[in-house]
Amino acid sequence: MLQDIERVLISEEEIKKRTRELGAQISKDYEGKELVVIGILKGASLFTSDLFRSITIPAELDFMRISSYGASTKSTGVHRVLLDLDYTLDGRHVLIVEDIVDTGLTIKFLLEYLGQRGPSSLKVATLLDKPTRRKVDVPIHYRGFEVPDEFVCGCGLDYAEKYRNLRDIVILKPEVYSGK
C-alpha cells in the first residue's frame, strides 16, 4: 500500500488537530441543543468517529449510506438511500458529516432528503472540501481542509475500496489509478 503513495497531503497530526478544533467549535455552537450527528458511510465513518469523540456536549450518533444510482450518478445527482434513519428528526439539530464534498451532489441530495423530516437545523461538516469540482452550490458549515483537484485517499477515502485505512490524507501515484 505504501508504495502506491506519491506524497502525504495532510498528515495524521494535522487531521487530529483540526478535528479537535472542529469538535470544540461544534460543542460551543450546539451547547444546550439536541444534536444528532449523522455520518455518511462508508467514507466518513472514520472522520465521524474522531469528530464525535471531540464533541464534548451530549450528542447522538447515527449513520446513513447513500449510493449513486447507476454508473453515472456522480454526474446525474440521482441517489438512493441504502441505510436510512428509522425515526423523524422533528425538533432535532442535525449535523451531516462527510469525508469529502466534491461535486456537492451527495450533500445537496441529503439536505433535501433530511430537510423533509422536520429538523430544527441541518448543517454540514466535512473533513475535505474540493471546491474546484463543485457542480452545485452547497453550504459547508464546518470544513477541515480545502484540497486541490488531486486524487486523494486515506482517512476513510478510498480508491477502488483500498487505502481507507491510511492515517494521512495522501495523493496516489498516477499509475495506481490510471492502470499503467
CB of 25 to ligand PRP, least distance (A): 22
Smallest gap from Cβ 175 to ligand PRP, in A, equals 21
| Residue with Cβ nearer ligand PRP (158 or 168) | 158
Q: Which three cell numbers stand for residue 67?
A: 449510493
State which residue, 25 or 103, has the beta carbon closest to ligand PRP.
103
Q: β-strands 169-172, 152-153: how paired?
A: antiparallel
Which of 9/101 has CB closer to ligand PRP? 101
Give the pairing type, strands 93-101 and 5-10: unpaired
137 CA to centre of own chain: 16
CB 56 to ligand PRP: min, Å: 26
CB of 149 to ligand PRP, least distance (A): 12
Listing from the earlier edge strand, what are the strands of the sheet with 142-146? 79-83, 59-68, 35-41, 93-101, 121-129, 142-146
Q: Which residues bind ligand PRP (CB under 6 A)?
A: 40-44, 68, 74, 98-106, 158
DSSP states of 30-81 as a string? TTTS-EEEEEEETTTHHHHHHHHHH--S-EEEEEEEEEESSTTHHHH--EEE
**Alpha carbons 77 and 55: distance in angstroms, whole number:** 31
- Which residues face 121 on adjacent strands? 93
> Which residue, judged by CB position, is nearest to ligand PRP in the bound state?
43
Mind telling me the catalytic residues? 102
- Name the residue nearer to ligand PRP (CB basis): 5 or 102: 102
